Amino acid sequence: MAPEDIFLFKGITERAADLADMRVLAEVRLNWQTIEQECLSQKRSGQWAYMLGTKLLELRAKFGIESPIIENLMDHADLDLLTYVFGNIIGEGNSTFKKIAQAVSERYRYSASWTRKQLTLLVRRRIVGRKKVATRRYIYYMRKSASS
């Protein structure tokens, strides 16, 4: 097994000893891009990205080891979570912003402005689509599966 594969598998566990092993592997030099690509190619890439990103943050905090892939992994994990949450709210049908914002507020206590910002991000990433149905009124729908 390549050291990058071992590092990745140790990065998605919760065993305390794996962090020390990751330190040793990181100090020997790793191909960070290979680790990132393999992590993000997994079926549940958002969950893997979150687990590995969190472990890399621990590695930095405890041992001062920097990884150039932390930000990308955490961004991927955040996007995966937003896709899941908005997918559950929007569902199979079409939803108005008002309906989405109300559901987000009731379930998660986030403001309408936060919801608008996240919806805009998801529309830009082509995860959520929107159709204009009236002047200044849109219907939102999921473009791809909300489960990862």
- Tell me the per-residue pLDDT of 78-118, one tens digit each, with 9 for 90 and over: 999 999 999 999 988 889 999 999 999 999 999 999 999 99
Kindly report, residue by residue over 39-74, the tens digit of the pLDDT. Answer: 999 999 999 999 999 999 999 999 999 999 999 999
CATH 1.10.3720.10 fits domain 76-142:
no
Q: What would the DSSP string read from start to end of 21-53?
A: HHHHHHHT---HHHHHHHHHTSTTHHHHHHHHH
Query: Which value, in Å, is the radius of gyration of the alpha carbons in the chain?
Result: 19
Domains in the chain: boundaries: 3-68, 76-142
How far, in Å, CA of 54 to CA of 79, rounded?
15
- Name the band, by pLDDT with cuts 50, 70 and 90, for residue 146: very low
Q: Contact 112/99 with Cβ under 8 angstroms?
A: no
| Rounded-to-integer distance, Cα 62 and Cα 58, Å | 6
Model confidence at 18: pLDDT above 50: yes
User: The pTM is what?
Assistant: 0.83
